[in-house]
Each structure stands twice: as structure tokens, then as C-alpha cells.
A and B are shown apart, each in its own frame.
Chain A
Amino acid sequence: MKTAISRTLLIGLLVTATACARNDEELPPPPPPQDPVQQSQTQTPTPTPNVRDTVIPGSMADFMRQAGADRVFFALDSSTLDAEARDTLRRQAAWLDQYENVRITVEGHADERGTREYNLALGERRANAAATYLQQQGVDSDRITTISYGKERPAVEGSSESAWAQNRRAVTVLSGAAAS
């Protein structure tokens, strides 16, 4: 009884396999040979996640991955870097240490709830706070430019506390990074 069933199953599996093979024959031809990079990847014995990733080293995407963010945020009317901001900037500095050809512009921004001129100065103060911290982490000052946009270029629209929190920021913009 048992063996009969097994045999029937085995036959069934064989039939299925044959059917699959036939189906394969009806599909388009297989893709052309893989390019050398992919081949070398497949030959690597134990691939790490980075190898499979499409992020190009030295690119903006790579910067974002390693630093976690291109921006840090500030409290109302403040240019003080909190622990999270310092951590982000440390990771930015570590990345910049690997890619010394990359220059950066640190853009300082304010939310809409301040007067025009004051916010220009406040944005400069924030950009300077972030830039100074990056220098302290070893980024050469010659590689850093700062600019303030005051309240002129919010990241998000709206007049809510959450919008204002996202707009009080210093953003590190790369130039000379590898194309993504």
C-alpha cells in the first residue's frame, strides 16, 4: 500500500517535471551571459550585502546610507546641535574622510515664524554650527562652504509644528561626488 502510493507520487512528480520542461521550451530564449561584474560577484564565496547593492561608493546615495541623513534639525530659535544631530554629522564626517575629493555646502534654514533678516542670520548661525562640528570631526575647512537661506526655502510646505520642525535645518550638499 505504502509503496504503491509512493510509486504513484513519484510518477506524478516525473510527469510534472516533464510538463515544466516542456513549458520552459515554450518560453523565450534565456538571457545573454551575465556581465563580468555580476559574474565576479557570483564567484565571490560569501557575498556581503554591500556587494549586491547598487549604491555606488562615493555617491550621494552612498553618503545618505552611511551618514543616515544629509540634514540635522534644530529647536526653535536655536542653533544648538543635539545628540542626534552630532551623531549624523559624525557619520557625515566619516564618509567625507573616505572621499576627500568631495566638497560640501552646508545650507542653513529657518522656519517661517521669524522675521526676514533675523532668519537669514539664524540660518547662517545654524549652517556655521554644523560646519564647525564637521571641522572638529576632521573635515578640512577648505572643503566647506556655508550659505543661509533664512526662511526662503522650506523643505516642506505648511504652517504646522511638524512642518516648522522639518524646516529648521542644516543640510549638507555634496559637490564632486560620484554619480549615483
Chain B
Amino acid sequence: MFLQPLTLSLSKGPSLVQGLLLLIAALFLALPAAAQNLSVDINQGISRPLPIAVPDFTTPGTVDTAAGTTTTLGEQVADVITNDLASSGLFRPIDQLAFTTSVSMPDVTAPRYTNWRTIGAQALVTGFVEARGDGTITVGCYLYDVFSQQALVRQGFNTTPRAWRRAAHKCADAVYSRLTGETGYFDSRIVYVSETGPATDRIKRLAIMDQDGANHRFLTNGQNLVLTPRFAPNQETLTYLSYAQNRPRIYIYDVETGSQRLVGDFPNMSFAPRFSPNGRTLVFSQARAGNTDIYTVDVNSGSVRRLTNTPGIDTAPSFSPDGRRITFESDRGGSQQIYVMNADGSGQRRISFGDGARYGTPVWSPRGDLIAFTRMGGGKFRIGVMRPDGTGERLLTDSWQDEGPTWSPNGRVIMFFRSERGGGAQLHSIDLTGVNERRIDTPLQGSDPAWSPLRP
């Protein structure tokens, strides 16, 4: 019951490469109720991450696949899981050089606990990669409490060999979820704006990558200025702003096919788009005669509804995960501040009141309990969070210019971009507790990150 139910993903076209992850529940027995003695408290800003051992995944027989042999894949799967767990800051994967035993097929389901206990491992992840007759592979994923000698996770994923990384991320998510009590976020992607060239003539391209930086590819060629890409709930569709034909307007882009279309045909600049939680609506801004207001547009019918109608700049709207409310920023009160309103535009209310500071780019957490923002004050732009009623404000970063937060699918990590004085921007992430700040490596410079929902 604590296993995350995975849905079937039989996607179209290129899915043979990308998707087709099947949970083979039948192969794996249900496990006893959660053991209470091994868990990770993710609310404390972990100072002592949990020691965990992730030996290479073994194979019942070395077989060539479209992505290398099952033996090689087993080593790579363990690497990806190790990297995922370490990046969360909650786990301390033990160096494989310290291991006193290797793992063969029988050890996968019956670990030699003593060997793992002696090197200080509290948790152990084992698994295998098996080639199947139909050209797919099965990745078996097991988690053990080394001290209580209990199995905590038994899960298997069937996938095309080329999508092996996703199976590894799914395994890491299962481990994370079982030990923290929260859903994971490793099997997810980042879309962002790749930047290069001088500030006065910057080339910007949409780019997409796995959450860990793998499978990076550019989606646009840099001919047009592009900004603020955001995922649809289906993780396969994006909305973003393009200056194609020198007219800043909103587009919807299909990641798999590369096809795109203009949303509406507004006479004025339309920008700052985001999907509603059901994916059927975009909320966005339209500027007209020096006045910017917030609208929604039905993605299919194109019907438009105006939500704000006050003098000033109302922009950067973001839906609550239940779709009932929208947070946005407005300078109607004299300076840029954060507001919340109902999804029909009623009940508009200011929630940010930091002394003398401006607030922008509010983004509702996927858990619904917090709103992340950029706070501008004291010569700094910092990322912070507050409750939707404006209480509990907490700043997470401290730098010259941090901006544009986006939430991990489980609402535990925030990614943003950091601009350097004099030019240049890079993606960074930080835990909700304010620890584990990391730079996210990208081939070029990067800005405007958006984290996808967890992939099915």
C-alpha cells in the first residue's frame, strides 16, 4: 500500500525510446507494513544524511541490448540512483570502493546484511537488469533496512533499453518515497532557456533535459528570442513566449513532435503564460496601452476571459494545484507585490508586505501549502516562500540576483536562476529547508527553469 502506484504509459510515436515504463507488480510480492525504525526526516534540513549503499545492479545473464549489455546497464543504473539520492542532500551514498562484497542474483533478494552493516550502511539498494525476449528490459529495484533486515521496497520496471535512465530514476524515487514518506521527484524533466553571447545581443534557446542534466537537447534554434517556458500537466506540452515575427506572443509546443502553434491572436503583447492544473486553460498577461492585466484562454476553443481590470501591471500568474485560486504580482498599490485571487478573478487580495521590498514571480507549490517568490530588497534578489495567506515568510537564498523559482514535483526542492553582476546566469536549486544549494550544470548559461510534474 505504501508503494507508489505507477500508471501505464503507452505514449505515441517516439515513446518506444522515451516511455513504456511498466510496473510489473505481479513479479513482486507485497511487503509488510512500513518499518518504523528507518526513515529520513526531510523537514529538518538534514545535517547528517542517511548512509546508503547502492551496489551495481546485477543481471541473470549478460545480454546485448539496444543500449549496451545488461551488465553495463546494471552499473549505470546504480550510478544514476546514487547520483539522484546524493543530490537530494538527504542521503550519503557510500563509496563503492568501500564495499566488502559484490551482489549476485541471490543477494538481490537475500542480502548479506553483515557485510553492509560493517561499512556503516543503514539502507541498501539492490537490483538487477534482465533482458526480455521482446527486446525490452526489466529493472528490479529493492530497498532494505540493513539493521532490521527488512525489505522496504520491491519494485520492477519494464522499459525499452534506451529508456533505462527512467527506470533508474523510478527506483530512486521509490527509495526516496519509502524513506521520507513523500513522493519522489527524480523521474522528471527541466525545460529552461539556454543563453549565450553578449548581453546586448543574447541568443536564447529553449532546451530540455532530465532533472539530473542527462538527455539534454535544444528545442529551438535561437533565431527568435524565447522566454518563460512552462510545462503542461501532461509533461509533454510546453507553453512559452516567442518573439517570432518580432511579435511577443504565446505558443504551445509539443516536446515529442516539435510542432507548435500560436495561442490566440491578440493585437498586443501576450506573455507570462502558465497552464491550469487540468491543462485546458492558460492563464497569462496581456499588455495594452501601458496597462497589463491577467486573462485566461481556453487552449482548444480560444475563448478568452479577463480576470483583472485595474490600472497597473498585473502579471506572472500561477494557479493553485486545485485550480481554484491564482497568485500573481501587481504594482497597483504603488510597488510590485504578490496577490491571490479566486480563479474567476474575484477576491483579489495582497499577501506580501515585506518592509520596503518588492515581490514578484509567485509560483504556487504543487502541494498547495506555499507560494515561492522573488523578493527584491536591500540590493538583492532572493528566493523565498510564504503561505498563501502571506504568513510564514522565509527566505531561502542570499545572492545578488536570484529569480524565477520553480518547484520540484513533490514541492521539496526549488530551482531558480542566479544572475551574476556584470552578466551571465546559471540554474541553481535549493531544498525547501534552505540547505543543499546546488548549481545545475548546463552546456551553456541558463535561465527561466521550469520543473515538470513527475512522469507517469
Report A's interface with B, CB cutoff 8 A. 77, 79, 112-118, 120-122, 124-125, 128-129, 132, 147-150, 152-159
In Å, the complex CA distance between A155 and B200 comes to 6
**Distance between A107 CB and nearest chain B CB, rounded to angstroms:** 10
Are A154 and B269 also in contact (CB < 8 A) when A118-B360, A121-B292 are? no
Q: Determine the chain B residues whose CB is within 8 A of the CB of A152 once the complex forms.
A: 202, 204, 225, 227
B426 → A minimal CB distance (Å): 15
Question: Does B27 count as interface, using CB distance less than 8 angstroms?
Answer: no
Which 4 pairs across A and B sit closest by C-beta, in order of nearness?
A: A128-B290, A115-B360, A124-B287, A121-B292
User: Does B246 contact A157, Cβ atoms closer than 8 Å?
Assistant: no
Given the known A-B contacts A157-B198, A157-B200, are A118 and B248 also in contact in the complex, defined by CB atoms under 8 Å? no
State in angstroms the CA–CA spacing of A138 and B6 once bound together: 65
In the complex, the answer to whether A159 meets B271 with C-beta atoms within 8 Å is no
Instruction: Convert B289-314 into 0s and 1s, putting 1 for each residue whose CB lies closer than 8 angstroms to a CB of A.
Output: 11110000000000000000000010
Whether, in the assembled complex, B329 has its beta carbon less than 8 Å from a beta carbon of chain A, the answer is yes
Flag whether B376 is at the interface (Cβ < 8 A).
Answer: yes
Interface membership of B276, Cβ < 8 A:
no
Is the CB of B159 closer than 8 A to any CB of chain A?
no
Cβ A118 vs Cβ B315 within 8 A: yes
Minimum C-beta distance from A116 to chain B (A): 6
Would you call A116 and B329 a contact (CB within 8 A)?
no
**Cα A150 to Cα B272 with chains together (Å):** 12
* A162 vs chain B, min Cβ distance (A): 13
Chain A: CB-nearest residue to B293: A121
Beta-carbon contact of A121 and B315 below 8 Å:
yes
Q: Is B374's CB within 8 Å of the partner chain A?
A: yes
Q: Which residues of B contact A122 (CB under 8 A)?
A: 313
Cα distance A178–B152 in the bound complex, in angstroms: 77
Most buried by B among A122, A129, A132: A122
Per the bound structure, the CA–CA distance linking A118 and B313 in Å amounts to 7
B248 adjacent to A158 (CB under 8 Å)? no
**Contact: B290 with A117, CB < 8 Å?**
no
Chain B neighbourhood of A79, CB < 8 A = 290
Supposing A128-B290, A147-B246, A154-B200 touch, asked if A120 and B423 sit within 8 A by C-beta, the answer is no
CB <8 Å contact, A116 and B421: no
Q: How far is the CA of A50 from the CA of B19 in the complex (A)?
A: 71
Q: Identify A159's interface contact among B198, B200, B422, CB under 8 A.
A: B422
Instruction: For residue A96, give the distance in angstroms from its CB to the closest CB of chain B.
Output: 20
Please determine whether A157 and B199 come into contact, CB atoms closer than 8 angstroms: yes
Known pairs A112-B199, A147-B248. 15 more at Cβ < 8 A? A114-B360, A115-B361, A117-B315, A118-B315, A118-B360, A121-B313, A124-B269, A128-B289, A150-B227, A153-B200, A153-B202, A155-B200, A158-B422, A159-B421, A159-B422
Most buried by B among A113, A115, A147, A152: A115
Some 28 contacts from A to B, beta carbons below 8 A apart, are: A113-B401, A115-B381, A115-B403, A116-B361, A117-B316, A117-B361, A118-B316, A118-B336, A118-B360, A120-B248, A120-B272, A121-B271, A121-B287, A121-B313, A125-B290, A125-B313, A128-B289, A147-B248, A148-B287, A149-B225, A152-B227, A153-B200, A153-B201, A155-B200, A156-B200, A157-B422, A158-B422, A158-B423
